[in-house]
Amino acid sequence: MAGLFETTGDGSAAIALDEVEASILRSLEVQMLELIGPGPGEDSDDPLAALFAEGPTAPPADPALHRLFPDAYGAPGEPADLETTAAASEFRRYTELDLRARKREDALHVVRAIDGLGGQGGELKVEAADCPRWLGAVNDLRLTLGSRLEVTEDDDEGLYSLPDEDERKPMVMLYLWLGAMQESLLEAITS
């Protein structure tokens, strides 16, 4: 099936993307790269400064970025006490830059693979070692779209019944496609 992964039998997966699907997926990953952006100090040309750069201590204000880089401590959506907030800030300070870098690398890996199709559709084989990168990149896209759509566990079913004239419909279709793609990749690598 086009746009979904299939197992290759050796721990790898393959996906057939038509030209439009390849273009959409590439565009979404490029937008993800722009959203994530470089972290504080990561745009320095000094490798030593980059090595010792510390990340932010406050969570991102953008709900989509906050979903990609959540607090490590405390319950989501619940007010945190001072001790929990301090622990989450300290954890973020030492981990967020690496997490941003990994998410950028995952998205860039997908972009490069799609670029390998030469602007055409075609079949991509994702080696077993690269499947976690694809899974991470697709998951990040889905989390971001879900955040923009304000999806909760309770209203997931409502996404299937949006009228065609609803302005969220194209984003919902992308969200559902990415969910199916993610599920098919999981099935392909566990088969």
User: What is the model's pLDDT at position 159?
Assistant: 76
Q: What burial letters (b/e) apply to 154-174, b meaning 16+ CB within 10 Å?
A: eeeeebeeeeeeeeeeebbeb
Q: What is the pTM of this model?
A: 0.88
Q: In the chain, how many domains are there?
A: 1
- Produce one character per residue of 16-45: b if its CB has 16 or more CB atoms within 10 Å, e if not: bbeeebbbbbbebbeebbebbeebeeeeee
Residues of the domain holding 134: 5-190
* Tens-level pLDDT at each residue, the chain (191 residues): 468 999 998 889 999 999 999 999 999 999 999 999 875 555 666 666 665 667 778 888 999 999 999 998 888 778 888 998 899 889 988 889 899 999 999 999 999 999 999 888 899 999 999 999 999 999 999 999 999 998 877 666 677 788 889 898 999 999 999 999 999 999 999 98
- The predicted pLDDT at position 146 comes to 93
pLDDT of residue 38: 78
* Chain centroid to CA 56: 20
pLDDT of residue 1: 43
Tell me which residue has tokens 């950028």.
104
Identity of the amino acid at 5 = F
